[in-house]
Amino acid sequence: MTEIDETNPPTLQKLLGESAIIKVLDFLTLNRRLDYSKADIARYSGIGWKTLFRVFPLLEKYELVKMTRRVGRAQLYRLNMDKPISKTLSQLALQIAYFDN
């Protein structure tokens, strides 16, 4: 379990399972105020680099992620809270966390 998992336990995974896309969405919803490189998203989500590159186009297609800035050659991303689907996922994660308490 990573440090982030210990402070922010996965919530969407409890309801939707442990697929790669759910792991990424779980991480992004729980850490929606910060931005991360793709390498960090993969590491903190607990998935492999190649797996992230397989699922990332789907996140971009539905505009669930947005690039926020560049640091050197790295592009940083966060959950796109301007989109209703991202807001709904965040609300779902909060409801699951509330239900568990």
The domain that holds 56 is classified in CATH as 1.10.10.10
In a domain, 30, yes or no: yes
Q: Please name every residue paired with 67 in a beta bridge, in sequence order, or none if there are none.
A: 77
pLDDT for 39-54, tens place per residue? 999 999 999 999 999 9
Residue 1 counted as domain residue: no
- Does residue 79 fall inside a structural domain? yes
Task: Indicate left, alpha or beta for 63 from its phi (over 0: left) and psi (-120 to 50: alpha).
Answer: left
What is the radius of gyration, based on Cα positions, of the chain? Answer: 13
* Contact predicate 8/88, CB 8 Å: no
For the segment 67-91, what is each residue's pLDDT rounded down to a tens digit? 999 999 999 999 999 999 999 999 9
Residue range 1-49, pLDDT digits in tens: 344 444 456 788 888 888 999 999 999 999 999 999 999 999 999 999 9
CA distance 74 to 100: 36
Query: Residue 85: which domain range?
Result: 7-95
What's the pLDDT score for residue 2?
43
Domain count, the chain: 1
Residue 6 sits at the vertex; the CA angle it makes with 37 and 35, to the nearest 5 degrees, is 20
